[in-house]
A and B are shown apart, each in its own frame.
Chain A
Amino acid sequence: MLKKVSTIPHQGTPEQAQRLAEVIAKYKHDKSNLMAVMQEAQAIYDYLPIEVQTEIARGMDVPLEKVYGVATFYAQFSLTPKGETHISVCLGTACYVKGSGDIYDRLQEELGIGGDECTPDRKFSLTACRCIGACGLAPVLTVNDEVYGRLTADDVPGIIAKYN
């Protein structure tokens, strides 16, 4: 797994910085909390750009390389921002056997981006995910938190249009 690193410049707000500082203060007594800090940081910023990882390294007193090594190991951590609309396609077994691979391909084609990428206008981002447990509805995808089930590739343009 090779993590894509965004080239879109990072823009953080003072409020976000304040929240991150609070998270670090809560956890810094124990370095084994590094992942929890990163998870909460990602909840604040949606992704973990170098500026945020540097703050975490500084605050938790761990090498930046360690933070980056962890960030690039776990699928959950993102180094690219999420679009306003984030589409996630389940490629779990149940969905796969029911054709979710075709749906994923079609989305890439329609959006003009690859997996784990964000459109330059930051409107859409796309990723594949493992089983989300909605196997009864296979194949499924989620748009933000909305679940769409029992799909075919031809449903893709309609779903995109709904959020455009």
Chain B
Amino acid sequence: MKTVAELNAARAAALKKIVLRKADEVIAKQVQSDYKYTVLVCGGTGCTSSHSTDIVEKLKEEIKAKGIEGDVQVIMTGCFGLCALGPIMIVYPEGCFYSMVEIGNIPRIVEEHLVGGEPVRELLYKETVAEDGSIKSLNETNFYKKQIRVALRNCGVINPEDIYEYIAVDGYQALAKVLTENTPDEVIKIVTDSGLRGRGGGGFPTGRKWALCAPNKAPQKYVVCNADEGDPGAFMDRSVLEGDPHCLIEAMAIAGYAIGATKGYVYVRAEYPIAVNRLAKAIEDARKAGILGKNIFGTGFDFDMDIRLGAGAFVCGEETALMTSIEGNRGEPRPRPPYPAVKGLFNSPTVENNVETFANIPQIILRGAEWFASMGTERSKGTKVFALGGKIEHTGLVEIPMGTTLNDIIYEIGGGIPGGKKFKAAQTGGPSGGCIPASLIDTEVDYDNLVSIGCMMGSGGLIVMDEDTCMVDMAKFFLEFTVDESCGKCTPCRVGTRRLLEMLEKITDGKGTLEDIDKLEELCNYIKANSLCGLGQTAPNPVLATLKFFRDEYIAHVVDKKCPAGVCKSLLSFTIDKDKCIGCGKCAKNCPNDAIVKTDYVAPGHKLPSYTIINDSCIKCGACMAGCKFGAISKK
């Protein structure tokens, strides 16, 4: 593709491939589809883990057997978002949503739906089938209806391994537009006006970041994409890479044009093999198509990019550490200033953004800054992708306008807490973040609101916790993570986080004192103020946030020597209700430490004597309770 005209011709030709999926658009009426049916199977990591590749094989086999290969297009897409219901499959033109698909169902779906033309209603996601049997579109379900997909717009819609499908959905039009219609400064202005802020955590305005780098002269400047998504429970970036890799390429080329860089690096976790392979193929295809390389679209602009694989170090999500790592070193952060805009990768001016930030760029260019700024809140524009996890019905990936309340996210979109349990808190920002307690469930989620309550947006992991979660234990979990991931360079983080963890362990072991809580808080504040990089500076946040909202739980651990949620083993005691115990002895058999013995007491209505637990011998493993069918054992 040497010119924009060729790009447009390719788009027109490719539309036939994807038109079935655009059922609600005008264009669908003008273009004749190549196929009668399009079957999209989720090929994201979640669904692949539940064998969606086997499903595709089986589908192809059955379709071949029925001789309808010419009519049915089977595509593996990126993530649809509703991971809890995987493996997921959608059939167009109806847009039927099959959830938790099993291989055994495939012959029936092929036979009845793809041959017979009648969707298999009982295998569809229950929410999409109305009482009268009519089938609702996916977008009408609770999970999707409040979502607005900008960064994820192509995820689960196109074949990520086919550059022409991307081109068909206006891919590379934004790049063509800036190269032919805008000066670099204009591009920066559009991004600035859109109000887009960095989606990686800190929320630094993207346009300003580009503007700081653009004027710096150097023989070589760089655009770096941070795809080292490392927060436990977060997989937003992976989904974009898996579902829409060309979008990232396009955005990085636009950034390169804006700041005067001709070389890009994507630093992506090696733990994301599907994402890496799709991105590598996308880069290769873009090069072959002439969209990466020299003289792109005949405009004289050169841009190329490479992938560098991370190797399992959370700290490499910090921008200077990431660059140190790309340079082939231990991924230790460097002091700032100098900022990367001045002295970044290989000591050259560099712009670094994360995947989701970049994923917004092409749409901002095509639809305008105003359109983007019309979504969201006053200071947080656009949408944000969240990975919902923990104690929530619909584990998965959602993209919602900034300012959506936590309540809507958890109950409307996420389907609430399983098992009728009570919502306790939501954790955002992973190990750098804090938690939002139930009392603040009506908080409108945006950068500034979260910061104001001592939390942070982070990259978008949102872990829901219910009444069974001990907040001290949760803080300890995140501290364990940061202690493990501390790079070891600066004293406050290397030694300080370890000491924090030890204090937390003392508390959850029931050996803490009120004084320890004060000392804990003091050390947290010290580490925040004194650490070299963002990892250390935010490492105490989970402790500080839980201290702020759940101090009573800490106090219960140190004063009452109790864990209110019944999690911290050292503080638990198991008891057998002698009147409920029928004396079957299963608990005694299960006990690995012979801590359960028979008593002389026979409860009224029972024949055998009841059992009791010797507290000194009990190791609090819970095996007795798990095995008791009569609910006679409780912990507190």
Q: Contact residues of A with B, CB < 8 Å? A: 1, 31-36, 38-39, 66, 69-70, 73-77, 91-94, 96-97, 129-138, 140, 147, 149
Q: Contact residues of B with A, CB < 8 Å? A: 44-46, 49-50, 83-86, 230, 232-235, 238, 270-272, 308-313, 325-332, 346, 387, 389-391, 395-396, 427, 430, 461, 463, 465, 469, 477, 484-485, 487
B485 / chain A contacts, CB cutoff of 8 Å: 1
Asked whether B232 lies within 8 Å of A92 as measured between CB atoms, the reply is yes
Contact A35:B308 (CB < 8 A) given known A1-B484, A94-B389, A136-B396: yes
Asked whether A147 lies within 8 Å of B232 as measured between CB atoms, the reply is no
CB < 8 Å: which of A36, A97, A131 contacts B308?
Answer: A36
CB < 8 Å: which of B86, B310, B331, B469 contacts A97?
Answer: B469
CB < 8 Å: which of A36, A70, A92, A147 contacts B233?
Answer: A92
Asked whether A74 lies within 8 Å of B235 as measured between CB atoms, the reply is no
A92 / chain B contacts, CB cutoff of 8 Å: 232-233
Asked whether B328 lies within 8 Å of A134 as measured between CB atoms, the reply is no
Asked whether B311 lies within 8 Å of A75 as measured between CB atoms, the reply is yes
Asked whether B313 lies within 8 Å of A149 as measured between CB atoms, the reply is no
* Shortest Cβ gap from A155 to chain B (Å): 13
Interface centre among A38, A77, A91, A131 (most CB of B within 10 A): A131
Asked whether A77 lies within 8 Å of B389 as measured between CB atoms, the reply is no
* Shortest Cβ gap from B88 to chain A (Å): 10
CB < 8 Å: which of A76, A133, A135 contacts B270?
Answer: A76
Q: Which residue of A lies closest to B230 (CB)?
A: A130
Asked whether A135 lies within 8 Å of B230 as measured between CB atoms, the reply is no
Asked whether A133 lies within 8 Å of B391 as measured between CB atoms, the reply is no
Q: Which residue of A lies closest to B265 (CB)?
A: A32
Asked whether B325 lies within 8 Å of A35 as measured between CB atoms, the reply is yes
Can you list 12 residue pairs at the A/B interface with Cβ under 8 Å?
A35-B308, A38-B311, A66-B329, A70-B328, A76-B311, A94-B232, A94-B390, A94-B395, A94-B463, A135-B233, A136-B86, A138-B395
Asked whether B232 lies within 8 Å of A131 as measured between CB atoms, the reply is yes
* Shortest Cβ gap from B361 to chain A (Å): 24
Besides A74-B313, A93-B390, 10 more A-B contacts (Cβ < 8 Å) are: A1-B484, A66-B329, A77-B311, A93-B461, A93-B463, A94-B395, A130-B230, A130-B312, A133-B45, A147-B49
Asked whether B469 lies within 8 Å of A36 as measured between CB atoms, the reply is no
B389 / chain A contacts, CB cutoff of 8 Å: 93-94, 135, 138
Of all A-B residue pairs in the complex, the 9 with the closest CB atoms, nearest first, are: A75-B312, A74-B311, A76-B311, A34-B328, A76-B312, A32-B328, A133-B45, A93-B233, A73-B330
Asked whether B311 lies within 8 Å of A136 as measured between CB atoms, the reply is no
B50 / chain A contacts, CB cutoff of 8 Å: 134, 136-137, 147, 149
